[in-house]
Amino acid sequence: MTLSDPIADMLTRIRNAVRINRPQVNIKCSNICLGIASVLKKEGYILDYDRIDDGYQGIIRVSLKYDQDGGSIIREITRTSKPGRRIYSGVADLPRVLSGMGIAIVSTSKGVMSDNDCRQANLGGELLCTVS
């Protein structure tokens, strides 16, 4: 079975794991998924991620982050740009998720970045997802 949208698959796996309070989730590896995982770690939404070689394309093992009450740090994670409808945004039009309390993850010519990093680097790109 081929996977047509690895980003949506990654976000769905994270969303489902957060709902049942799993400590880790395995995701099929791709460069864009590694970029999203690195942004989530940098912004403090996940604890860590590891790339595991399985002899095929590889697996990303994401360690999810919870607060001291057991609630997830990731409240909502949604896909913005889809294969059937790509959404691009210039640096001036980047959305502010929850008035700056959340992040938008953007694919730019310099790699996958958060919206704050895009504003600092004065770059726009494809809006991949929003996290709050």
pTM of the model as a whole: 0.95
What is 69-100 written as a DSSP string?
A: TS-BS---EEE-SBTTB--EE-GGG---GGGG
Average pLDDT, the chain: 96
CB 66 within 8 A of CB 21: yes
Each residue's pLDDT tens digit, 80-110:
999 999 999 999 999 999 999 999 999 999 9
pLDDT, residue 51, reads 97
Statement: residue 2 has pLDDT above 80: no
Each residue's pLDDT tens digit, 12-41:
999 999 999 999 999 999 999 999 999 999
Answer yes or no: is 111 within a domain: yes
List the domain range (segments joined by +) for residue 122.
6-131
Answer yes or no: is 1 within a domain: no
Q: Phi and psi (nearest 5°) for 70?
A: 90, 5
CATH number at residue 39: 3.30.1490.10
Number of domains in the chain: 1
β-strand 77-79 against 125-131: which pairing, if any? Answer: antiparallel
Confidence band (pLDDT; 50, 70, 90) for 4? confident
